[in-house]
Amino acid sequence: MERGLFVWCWVGYNITINNSLYPKPKIMLRQIKEDVQVAIEKDPAARNFFEVLILYPGVHALIGYRLSHGLWNMGFKFLARTISQFFRWITGIEIHPAAKIGHRFFIDHGMGVVIGETSEVGDNVFIYHGVTLGGLATKKAKRHPTISDNVVIGAGAQVLGPIHVGCNTKIGSGSVVLQDVPEHSTVIGVPGRVVFSGISSDMEDDEGLESFPDPVARAIECMLDRLPQMEKEIRHLKETLRQKGIDTAPSKPVERDPSNIKQVSGQSKS
């Protein structure tokens, strides 16, 4: 009980085999510094360390998560959920204390982000506002997604169920992902479809802008590329039929004589 009174003061406590607690304030400070540095690297609007530390809700949510996650692992689950809900209230970001999040994780803007209890997030993951890492089942088991390293999830995307998203994957804004995604892929649509899959995560142009292929435009391009071949095959088929004496001329439409059309309206009953 005496130890429990001081647990809330520290994030970086370690649980050893004999269940003793050791305060590690340097771990907490190192994690906060890393979270701020990642925000500065990934957000072009970030100007300096103190601005990010004081004003960025994504960083605040991560600080709250680090604290609540440590308390959850120590068995102080009610206190962990209390802290989690407090940071949800002030940031608009809900991260369950039991979720597992790696290093260099960054939430841009942040409002509306939800990360469920059994979610697992790897290192160097970047997500935008409105993202949900949610579940589809109500049973107490693994029901949330596993996100591998170097994944980018666009605004409003929903990644649902106990699925696995491979490394170096990009998920487009507004997508709903319900199935496993291979490595080095780009997913777009509702439901999410893999529109690109390669062996490299290099999906940026010379100006550093992320490239998300348009599946509709790609389908139209494929149809246009196919049209010349289809026309050639139709001409060949017509020539073959003509050689066999089969008339391939288009039939003329039947012309109707307007005088033969009965006038129904305006006629009186006899």
Q: Are residues 146 and 81 in the same domain?
A: no
Q: Which contiguous run of DSSP H or E holds residue 15?
A: strand 14-15
What's the structural domain count of the chain?
2
218, 125: one domain: yes
Q: What is the CATH number of the domain that holds 134?
A: 2.160.10.10
Rg of the chain over Cα atoms, rounded to whole angstroms, equals 30
Q: Are residues 126 and 221 in the same domain?
A: yes
Q: Is residue 255 part of a domain?
A: no
Q: Is residue 233 part of a domain?
A: no
Both 92 and 15 in one domain: the answer is yes
CA distance 249 to 71: 82
Query: Is there a single domain that holds both residue 91 and residue 150?
Result: no
CA distances from 188 to 94, 158, 195, 214, 270 (A): 24, 11, 7, 8, 68
Residue 269 domain-assigned?
no
Residue 181 shares a structural domain with residue 145: yes
Q: For residue 183, what are the domain limits? A: 108-200+210-226
191 and 83 assigned to the same domain: no
Task: Please indicate, yes or no, if residue 71 is contained in any of the structural domains.
Answer: yes
Collapsed DSSP state (helix, strand, coil) of residue 127? strand
* Residue 48 and residue 155 share a domain: no
pTM of the model: 0.64
What does the alpha-carbon distance between residue 32 and residue 50 come to, in Å, rounded to a whole number?
12
Strand 94-95 with 114-115, pairing? parallel
Show pLDDT as tens, one digit a residue, over the chain (270 residues).
Answer: 444 434 444 434 444 333 334 346 677 778 888 888 888 888 888 888 888 888 888 889 998 988 888 888 888 889 989 999 999 999 899 999 999 998 889 898 888 899 988 899 989 999 999 999 988 877 888 889 999 999 999 998 999 988 999 899 899 888 899 988 888 888 888 888 888 776 554 444 445 445 555 666 677 878 888 888 888 888 888 888 888 777 766 666 656 656 655 554 455 444
User: What CATH number does residue 42 fall under?
Assistant: 1.10.3130.10
